[in-house]
Structure 1
Amino acid sequence: MPIALKRDIHVADMRLETKRAPLPAAIGVDGIFQGYASLFGVRDACGDIVAPGAFAASLRQRGAANVKMLWQHRAEEPIGVWTTIEEDARGLKVRGRLDLSVVRAREAQSLIHAGALDGLSIGFRTLRAASDPTTGARRLLAVDLVEISIVTFPALTQARIDAAPAFAAAPRLAAANLGQKLARLRMQSAAQSFETKLRRASIALDWR
């Protein structure tokens, strides 16, 4: 039988319930990144397993806009926004953007690029869970997702966050922009050269 568990969102000295996943050292120049904040069916270091559908009701109620992006679970340090949070067959897929006008967000971006910062962690309340008497694992059946933080230490080594498509496309976009600029410069140069030739021809006619 499922065991209903209720815990308040902790503040100050109350314990925050979290699950962590590694963040690769790759992030878009505009602060955009995407990947998985949680994986289904994977037992973590706390002995918990998140079941498929565990986030569904919470996401319907909150939406991505009401799940905060925090620095190290600090409520006083939001560093960006989550633009997409959804469940798929693998786990909790997320896409977010650091607010690079915030000093801490710029620091986070730099640390991620350097490979010094590599974790994501979800902060949540457990609403419904079941205990496995054989393994002792707690199976999380329904949780209220409150926030997802960028953190230092990962726990779910199987989960990875990918570089944002915008980051992957950046070199191609930059090359395309450069090509367009070169084409415009060539056209301007050709036009100037043609204009110079016309002027010389006009001067030559005047002297005749």
Structure 2
Amino acid sequence: MTPGLEVKFAGGTPTLTDGHVIEGYASLFGMTDQGGDAVRAGAFSAGLRRLADKGDRVRMLWQHDPARPIGVWDEVREDEKGLWVKGRLLPDVAQAREAAALIQAGAIDGLSIGYRTIRAERDQKGRRALVEVELWEVSLVTFPMLPEAKVGRKDSDDLREVAMLFSAAAEALRKE
């Protein structure tokens, strides 16, 4: 398994009979993505409230493809670090079974958000700060715009730990 990857299986066994439970951070506040955007704390809250008031939910897609839903997000919430999601890959969906196998093998672990910008501001360096967004979907992806957005990502300390492990491994290889 990938360091920092947490995959939980409903029923305690690695099958999709009850759904493959996944969780992690789909967005981390204040971190600039590869497109130059950073999400501010609170950016999702109004949109999530509006969805809940309508009885609607954020969709779980495969690679941002609206024709390929693969599961359901049972919990989507902001905390002090970012947008945390927890959901189930659906066992009756072939792409979900493939996604579960890829996650379990460590071949894929990215999460990415699909949204509409409601309000944004530019900072002193010209980067865009997303102040309010309407969240449509969170996808499992191969390459997330925010590389730190991962299935099983508990907090940014995990990233430091992984970086230290890679550095130690690289140093050990250089000595051989």
- TM bin, normalised by shorter chain, reads 0.7 to 0.9
Query: Take 2:150 and 2:96, find their aligned partners in 1: how far apart are those partners?
Result: 20
Q: Which residue of 2 aligns with 1:83?
A: 74
Q: Deviations over 1:16-67 (max 9, x none)?
A: xxxxxxx937342340011111000111111111001000011001139521
* Aligned 8 A contact 2:74 2:87 in 1: yes
Query: Take 2:150 and 2:141, find their aligned partners in 1: how far apart are those partners?
Result: 14
Q: Secondary structure at the match of 1:135?
A: coil
The gaps in structure 1 that reach 5 residues or longer are 1-22, 164-208
Q: Deviations over 1:133-174 (max 9, x none)?
A: x311100000000011111113423344328xxxxxxxxxxx
Q: TM-score, normalization: structure 1? A: 0.63
The gaps in structure 2 that reach 5 residues or longer are 154-176
* Aligned 8 A contact 1:27 1:109 in 2: no
> Of 32, 41, 48, which residue of structure 2 is paired with 1:52?
41
* Aligned 8 A contact 2:7 2:21 in 1: no
Q: Which residue of 2 aligns with 1:150?
A: 140
One-letter code of the match for 1:74?
A: D
* Aligned 8 A contact 2:29 2:41 in 1: yes
Q: How many pairs does the alignment contain?
A: 140
Query: Take 1:65 and 1:99, find their aligned partners in 2: how far apart are those partners?
Result: 18
Query: Take 1:158 and 1:37, find their aligned partners in 2: how far apart are those partners?
Result: 9
Q: TM-score, normalization: structure 2? A: 0.74
Query: Take 1:124 and 1:91, find their aligned partners in 2: how far apart are those partners?
Result: 15
Query: Take 2:64 and 2:33, find their aligned partners in 1: how far apart are those partners?
Result: 19
More helix by share: 1
RMSD of aligned alpha carbons: 1.9
Q: Tell me if 1:125 matches 2:111.
A: no
More strand by share: 2
Q: Deviations over 1:105-159 (max 9, x none)?
A: 0000001111111211100000000011x31110000000001111111342334
Q: Tell me if 1:67 matches 2:48.
A: no
